[in-house]
Structure 1
Amino acid sequence: MTNLEDSPSYRVLSIQSHMVSGYCGNKAAAFPLQTLGFDVDILNTVQFSNHTGYTSWTGGRLTDVDVQQLFDGLEANGLMDQYTHVLTGYIGNFDILRTIENKVKQLKERIPYLIYVCDPVLGDGGRLYVAPEIVPLYRDVLSVADVITPNQFEAEVLSDIKIINLKTAKEAANQIHAFGVDNIVITSMVLPPEDVPKTILLPHSKSTESASNTNHQPLYCMTSQRHPNGDVQQHLISFPTYEGYFTGTGDLFSALTVARIQDYPHSLAQAIFKVVASVNAVTRLTWEHQRKQQHGNDKMIVDKPNDPKLVHACELQVIKGKKEIEHPDLIGHQILMVEL
C-alpha cells in the first residue's frame, strides 16, 4: 500500500483568466491538475461571466499593480517558496506579463527546481488576440520558461517563420530554442499529407457530416527538446479531430503538460503523447455532447454559434473527462508518434 506521506508534493501557481461559467483559463486548468494530485493556487488576471465566444460578457481585469499586490501578500506570508511550478496562460496586459516575468526570475533564484510552463497565448487562425508590443516581450519570457506550448500561429509569430510544411516547423522550433527555452510543444499544426511520415499518417474523412465518420482533418503536434549537451530531439504526434466548436483546449493542454512532465522528466515526447491522448479524448466527449444537444441532427455545429444556448452546449466536458484525464487510452484512439 502506498504511503501518501512519501508521495511527491507539487504546488502550482496558475496565472491566467477565469470564467464564472464554462471551461477556459483557470477553470480548464485547475480541475485536471487537482485530479492528478497537484495543489493549485489560482491567480485570476481576468474574471468574466463567461468566455468571449459568447455574444456578450461582463466582468473585469486586474492591473499590474493588483497582481504585484497579490504577489506581495503571498511573499509576506512565505507562501511563494512552496511552489514547484508556475503556469501562465492568457496574459493580455504588457505590464502584467512583465511583472510575472520578474517574479518568476526571482523565484527561480530561490527555488532552483521550479518549473515554469508558459502558454504564450497570442492568437490563432492568423489573428493576434493581444497588442503587437506583447510579442517581443514574450520572446524575452522564453529565456525564463522551461516549457512553452504555442499553437501553430503563435509559433510562427514567435519565430517569425511561416510554417507551411514539416521543414519549416522544425526551423521555427529551432529559432524559438535560440531565445532560450529548451522544451517546445507546438500543440496543433496543419501539415500537407505528403509531408507526414507514413507511420503516423491518419486518414481524412470523406464526409464530416456522417455520425459514423468522426475523423475530420487530422492535426499534428510537434515536440522539440534541447538536451543539456545541445542536441535537439524532435517528435511528431498525429491525432484525429472532430468538427465542432471548441474553446479551452489549449488551457487544458498546458495544464496537463505541467503534470505529465513530472511523469516523464527526461522525455518531453512521452509526456506530451499522454497529454495529447487526454485532450483528444475530452475533445471527443465534447463533440459527442454537441451532437446530443443537436438531438442527433446530422448537421453539426462547425463554427461559433450565435445562440448562447448552443455556445454553452459546446463547453469543454472537463468534469466528465475525469477518467480520460487520469488514465488516457494510449492505444485505441489513433494517437501516433514518430521521432523526426
Structure 2
Amino acid sequence: MAILSIQSRVSYGYVGNSIAVPAIQATGLEVWPLDTVSFSNHPGHGQFTGEVRSAAELEAQIDGLTALGVLDGISAVLSGYLGLPGTAAVVAAAVDRTRASNPNLPFVLDPVIGDNGRHFVREGVAEAICEELLPRADIVTPNLYELGVLCGAAIPDEADVITEAARTLIRKSGLKAVAVTGIERAGMVSNLLVLEETSYETMTLRLDRGFNGTGDLFAALLTAWFVRSGDIRSAFARAAGGLDAATRITAQAKRMELDLPAILKSLKTLCPAALVQGHYPGIQAGSASCRRNRSRAS
C-alpha cells in the first residue's frame, strides 16, 4: 500500500513532505512524494531560499508515474501546500487518474490556506482549492480559519457552530469527514472530527508556544491510519495521539523545529487519543487561533 503525497518540501525543519514522508513510513506504508515547492526552510523563519515548482513540472512527474503503471497501486492521495493556483488542477488530475482504476480511492485534502485571520498562500490558491479539490475530497483537515474559507464565511469559536459548519460542508461537498484541528478552549487544545451523524473530540493541555508542521503531521498520520484501518474514527484517534506526542516531545526538548527522531520513535508505541462523542462537557470555547503555525509562503 502506498500514498501519493503532494505538498511542500524544506531542507531544514519538518513541514510538508519533510514530515509527512517519514511519518507515513513509520506506520508501515510506502509514500511517493511530489514536492510543490523546494525551500531551504519554512518561511516562518522570516527568510528562505528556493523555488516553487511549476504545474507543468509536477504534471510531468505524474505522467512519469503513469507511464510506469504504478499509479494503479496507490491506496490514497494526500495534498497539502500547493504554492501556485495551477497546482490544484494537477492534484485534481492525479486524483482522477488514480480513481480510474480504483473508484473508491480516498483523497485527503489538507487545505493549507492560512491561520489567525489571514491568508499565507498566493492569490488564487484558496479559490483553486475550493473549486478543484474540495469537490473531489473525502476527508478535509482544516484549522478553524480554513474551515471558514471552505464554507465561505468566518466560523465563530463555538463548538456547536463549528460542528454545524463542518456538517454543512460535508453535505454540500459530499465529504465523509471533516477534522478541525487546533481549536483552543479554556487552556486546552481541541481536535474535532465531524461526521454526518455524529462527532468526536480530543482534548489536550495547551502548550505556551507554537509549532511548525504539526498540521502536516496530523494529516499524514490520519491518511496513513485510515488506509490501514478503513475506520476514520480510529485513524483520527491515532493522528490526534501522534500530534499530542509530537508537541510534548518537542517542547520538552526545547527545540525550535519538531524533534523528528524522537517523534518517530514514539509512534512505535503510540497511544491513541481518548475520544469523547460530541463535545467535552463544561468547557466553553476560548480563543480559537490554531497552534499548528504552518509554513508561510508568498
TM-score (norm 2): 0.87
Match of 1:257 among 209, 222, 242: 222
For 2:295, the equivalent position in structure 1 comes to none
Q: Distance in 2 between matches of 1:180 and 1:142?
A: 9
For 1:339, the equivalent position in structure 2 comes to 277
8 Å Cα contact 1:286/1:316 also seen in 2:
yes
8 Å Cα contact 1:29/1:255 also seen in 2:
yes
For 1:142, the equivalent position in structure 2 comes to 134
Alpha-carbon distance, 1:171 to partner: 1.8
For 2:42, the equivalent position in structure 1 comes to 51
Is residue 31 of structure 2 the alignment partner of residue 66 of structure 1? no
Alpha-carbon distance, 1:165 to partner: 0.6
For 2:177, the equivalent position in structure 1 comes to 183
Deviation track 1:74-128 (CA, whole Å, cap 9, x = no partner) reads: 1112122121111111113111111211221232122224221110000011111
Q: What code does the residue aligned with 1:235 have?
A: Y
Is residue 144 of structure 2 the alignment partner of residue 152 of structure 1? yes
For 2:95, the equivalent position in structure 1 comes to 104
Q: Distance in 2 between matches of 1:74 and 1:169?
A: 39
For 1:24, the equivalent position in structure 2 comes to 15
Distance 1:251 1:165, change over 3 A: same
Match of 2:115 among 119, 124, 141: 124
Deviation track 1:183-206 (CA, whole Å, cap 9, x = no partner) reads: 110012134x5xxxxxxxxxxxxx
8 Å Cα contact 1:142/1:180 also seen in 2:
no
SS of 1:109's equivalent?
helix
Matches within 5 A, 1:188-199: 188-191=182-185, 193=186
Q: Distance in 1 between matches of 2:99 and 2:147?
A: 25
8 Å Cα contact 2:52/2:83 also seen in 1:
no
Alpha-carbon distance, 1:143 to partner: 2.0
Larger Rg: 1
Q: Distance in 1 between matches of 2:218 and 2:127?
A: 24
Alpha-carbon distance, 1:246 to partner: 1.1
Deviation track 1:148-202 (CA, whole Å, cap 9, x = no partner) reads: 11111111111124222112101210221112211110012134x5xxxxxxxxx
For 1:11, the equivalent position in structure 2 comes to 2
Q: What code does the residue aligned with 2:181 have?
A: T
More deviation in 36-45 or 315-324? 315-324
Is residue 285 of structure 2 the alignment partner of residue 285 of structure 1? no
For 1:275, the equivalent position in structure 2 comes to 239
**Structure 2, unaligned runs of 5 or more:** 279-298
CA RMSD after TM alignment: 1.7
8 Å Cα contact 2:107/2:136 also seen in 1:
yes
Deviation track 1:240-292 (CA, whole Å, cap 9, x = no partner) reads: 221123100011000000122134423x23321121111111111100111xx
Q: Distance in 2 between matches of 1:11 and 1:271?
A: 16
Deviation track 1:210-256 (CA, whole Å, cap 9, x = no partner) reads: xxxxxxx2111111123xxxxx2211221122112310001100000
Q: What code does the residue aligned with 2:43 have?
A: T
Match of 1:223 among 180, 193, 196: 193
Q: Distance in 1 between matches of 2:49 and 2:85?
A: 22
Q: What code does the residue aligned with 1:218 have?
A: M
TM-score (norm 1): 0.77
For 1:166, the equivalent position in structure 2 comes to 159
Alpha-carbon distance, 1:337 to partner: 2.4
Q: Distance in 2 between matches of 1:180 and 1:137?
A: 18
Identity of aligned residues (%): 29
Q: Distance in 1 between matches of 2:169 and 2:130?
A: 8
Matches within 5 A, 1:60-99: 60-99=51-90
Count of residue pairs brought into register by the alignment? 275
Q: Distance in 1 between matches of 2:118 and 2:74?
A: 34
Q: Distance in 1 between matches of 2:225 and 2:112?
A: 20
8 Å Cα contact 2:75/2:227 also seen in 1:
no
Q: Distance in 2 between matches of 1:103 and 1:328?
A: 32
SS of 2:201's equivalent?
strand
The structure whose RCO (Cα within 8 Å, separation 6+) is larger is 2
